[in-house]
Structure 1
Amino acid sequence: MNDQDTDGLHKALEASILRNEGSWSGSSHSSAAERTLPFQVNGGEWEIDKRLLKMGEMIASGSCGDLFRGTYLGEDVAVKVLRSEHLNKNVWNEFTQEVYILREVQHTNVVQFIGACTKPPQFCIITEYMSGGSLYDFVHKQHNVLEVPILLKIAVDVCRGMCYLHQRGIIHRDLKSANLLMDKDHVVKVADFGVARFQDQGGNMTAETGTYRWMAPEVINHQPYDNKADVFSFAIVLWELITSKIPYNTMTPLQAAVGVRQGLRPGLPENAHPKLLDLIQRCWETIPSNRPAFPDILAELEDLLSHVQEANQRQDDPGTKD
């Protein structure tokens, strides 16, 4: 890697490195080089009546907005509010992109869109309130060490959400534990579609979109990429669930990015289920076409979950014979 490459990475990082990786908007923004969406957000059936929205406590603060808890028509909701002082073309494109995609998706494992305020002075996106918080907080701040059946159930939830998105032609581009939220029943849902996009939307897809510790090498390397970039990010999430560690925790995000493009991956724990370790290694293969697709990953995880549950039942009931 030459000095020019390193300089380029440093420059690209300046805008994104200051953001908190564990927050809901700790990702690099799409650049203006991406084609502007072929529509305007003009509300329509998704425009909510602000008078019926009651704002509560702030849950998180991001680089260009804040996340609040609130109620709308008697339901608990999450409200992502753009800060007017940060409203530029990039932020507006991200906002309109998120509304555009959320309007199009409905699945048990994707956060439910309720509506948006797209008229000045306040722009906001309203989704279901996920009382369990993010997977990032669940694993890293609450220091939960996950048993294999729970870990597999979470992984299956994420996989189902991602299968659905990829079937709809949507690449998330910022899949990480901070963007995976849990509801009160511990169902995990994919969230935060600010940098997501339809694969056939046109224009060149921006390099370095996402968060460095979870980012696929082809994205870091400014190479063409497709939905297999999400599979790479999923491998890092799976590794987080197994180890309860932040990936490359002894490195800065820049060092991690440089390492990943040179073939570096997080160290594999010896005591984890061998089938999980094998799956992780296939999902973070350097060549995207060598990575499995989400439907195949889902089939493997569901099969492994059923085997683990059966084995646990046999342990609980010693009278059961094979």
Structure 2
Amino acid sequence: MEGCSESSSSRVMESSYSPKNKNRRLRAKVDAYNEILWRLKELGVEEAMHPDFEDDLWAHFNRLPNSYASDMSIEKAEDVLMHKRLLQMAQDPATRPAIEVRPEQASPSNQNNETSVHSNNLIRDDAQASAPKSELRPRYEITISTNDKRKFLSQLTSVISELGLNIQEAHAFSTEDGYFLDVFVVSCLKESGADELKKHLVKEIKKTERSLPSKKHVMDVNKQEQKGLGLRSEYVSIPNKGEDFWQIDTSLLRFEEQLASGSYGDLYKGTYLGQDVAIKVFRAEHLGNALQQEFTQEVFIMRKIRHRNIVQFIGASTRPPRLCIVTEYMPGGSVFDFLRKQKDALKLSTVLKFAIDVSKGMNFLHQNNIIHRDLKAANLLIDENNVVKISDFGIAKIQTGPGVMTAETGTYRWMAPEVIEHKPYNHKADVFSFGIVLWEILTRKLPYEELTPLQAAISVVHKGLRPTIPTYTHPGLEKLLIRCWQRDPSLRPEFMEILEILNHIEKVRQAK
């Protein structure tokens, strides 16, 4: 439409097409925004003519994950307005939950069991026309927005099922400020008007919401649970009953591309209810007792922890032979890969940001009696906002007391001397590994790259070998590295102190 591409907001959006901008996800979001904006103005939508609309529309896209923009085609332009309205209504308790129900095309009943969530092969209109009327079932698109509560999505799908609705498609999005926007396409077992269906949904969802704790309450309870976990045994079976909202229905998983392959399993990028996820699949032929214990331990720990600098656990399938763990997808890849792509040493600001992110996550784990035991750059992932998060809790343990663990575990090049020697160790082993990680970030090199892993381990224990600190290292970081690498674990700092040191260096840097 005339004038659309010349608006101030559109000009800002076009700048994102610079060759220097390699963020494909941002580009996709920009494309979706511009297409929706153009379409709404072409349709003459009154709201789209308001001077502030373009900024409001961009703010709407930014509230939601990138997967939302991928779902919003030009044909769904007016749906975006409905989504904005529902999210606004969800902020007011008097109008929450905000629900829109509208008829969809019907589908033959004999296709119900064959149509999976996110299917791109839903029944076409011409197929509908040729289907006998006796086989047709009414279909509705249900859009729901409410405040984000843990366990709500699983409860919501249960409510939909109890109302006699068969979910054909599902897309779930969470906003940055704590609200849900969920879109379901359902088929009904019996004829039911949109207004009647909406009335039933509002009633049942309100009952469900009253029974769910707030996020803050859940976090407080989890924190208390985690602090008490040290009283339990190191290996705890995952409960099959009770609070099992984290159980994943594998039929709702959509696999897209393989990211990595290991001796015991594979890692995939995929989607789950509209959200981009990473899917760690354990191969059935390797499901011995040791691997099942590793899987059990990882799920047990990850489902208990929530922190900005720890990769978010979404769910798991615990039913052999299809064991898998689903986490948020980290488009930035690992810190290890990131470092190998850099041609020059990182700026001090970047080194400090990465180190602070890792320290925050590790401090949270240690405060809750969890030892990672395999801290290295390959197990640190980067999200779309350049936030570093700790991943891979396959060999993490709950500390049941001082000096009770003796197993040699982790990766030799990052392993603390006491762990290599099979001596009793505690959470300070992670601090030693952090020192190696900090050195990795500074140098972009593999620790002891001239030695084999076993040679490196022997030299660390018997010769006191440590990586060579570059001459360009900030004096404060050099002192921190030396302290983290102390042979005596009691001389190594806690992560709370490490955070204070790093924040002080950053504050001085900014003041210059």
The amino acid across from 1:297 in the alignment is I
Shift in Å, 1:143: 4.7
* Alignment size in residue pairs: 277
Partner residue in 1 for 2:357: 157
Give the TM-score normalised by the residue count of structure 1.
Answer: 0.83
Partner residue in 2 for 1:227: 427
Partner residue in 1 for 2:283: 83
Partner residue in 1 for 2:66: none
Q: Does 1:265 align with 2:466?
A: yes
What is the CA–CA distance in structure 1 between the aligned matches of 2:472 and 2:403, rounded to whole Å?
45
CA change 1:199–1:178 in 2 (3 A) is same
Q: Does 1:279 align with 2:477?
A: no
CA change 1:221–1:150 in 2 (3 A) is same
Residues 36 and 93, structure 1, Cα contact 8 Å, conserved in 2: no
The amino acid across from 1:89 in the alignment is N
Partner residue in 2 for 1:37: 235
Give the TM-score normalised by the residue count of structure 2.
Answer: 0.53
Partner residue in 1 for 2:394: 194
Partner residue in 2 for 1:133: 333
Residues 234 and 400, structure 2, Cα contact 8 Å, conserved in 1: no
CA RMSD of aligned residues (A): 1.6
Shift in Å, 1:41: 4.9
What is the CA–CA distance in structure 2 between the aligned matches of 1:206 and 1:114, rounded to whole Å?
31
SS of equivalent residue, structure 1 residue 70: strand
Report 1 or 2 for greater relative contact order, CA contacts < 8 Å, sequence distance ≥ 6: 1
CA change 1:285–1:309 in 2 (3 A) is same
The one-character-per-residue Cα deviations of 1:171-225 (angstroms, maximum 9, x if unpaired) are 0000000000000111000100000011018995242200000000000011100
Q: Does 1:120 align with 2:302?
A: no
Partner residue in 1 for 2:381: 181
Q: Does 1:290 align with 2:491?
A: yes
Shift in Å, 1:78: 0.3
Shift in Å, 1:144: 5.7
Residues 41 and 118, structure 1, Cα contact 8 Å, conserved in 2: no
SS of equivalent residue, structure 2 residue 303: helix
Partner residue in 1 for 2:301: 101
SS of equivalent residue, structure 1 residue 278: helix
The one-character-per-residue Cα deviations of 1:104-133 (angstroms, maximum 9, x if unpaired) are 100000000000011133110000000000
Partner residue in 1 for 2:111: none
SS of equivalent residue, structure 2 residue 259: strand
SS of equivalent residue, structure 1 residue 55: strand
Shift in Å, 1:308: 1.1
Partner residue in 2 for 1:238: 438
- Larger Rg computed on CA atoms: 2
What is the CA–CA distance in structure 1 between the aligned matches of 2:329 and 2:356, rounded to whole Å?
21
CA change 1:66–1:201 in 2 (3 A) is farther
What is the CA–CA distance in structure 2 between the aligned matches of 1:203 and 1:217, rounded to whole Å?
14
The one-character-per-residue Cα deviations of 1:211-257 (angstroms, maximum 9, x if unpaired) are 00000000001110000000000000000111111100000000000
Partner residue in 1 for 2:456: 256
Larger deviation, residues 180-189 vs 35-44: 35-44
Alignment gaps of 5+ in structure 1: 1-34, 312-322
What is the CA–CA distance in structure 1 between the aligned matches of 2:239 and 2:282, rounded to whole Å?
15
Within a 5 Å distance, the mapping from 1:202-213 to structure 2 comes to: 204-213=404-413
CA change 1:191–1:123 in 2 (3 A) is same
Out of 72, 78, 91, which is 2:272 matched to? 72
Percent identical pairs in the alignment equals 56
Residues 406 and 425, structure 2, Cα contact 8 Å, conserved in 1: no
CA change 1:88–1:292 in 2 (3 A) is same
Alignment gaps of 5+ in structure 2: 1-232
Residues 442 and 473, structure 2, Cα contact 8 Å, conserved in 1: yes
What is the CA–CA distance in structure 2 between the aligned matches of 1:207 and 1:199, rounded to whole Å?
13
Residues 406 and 423, structure 2, Cα contact 8 Å, conserved in 1: no
More helix by share: 2
Q: Does 1:303 align with 2:504?
A: yes
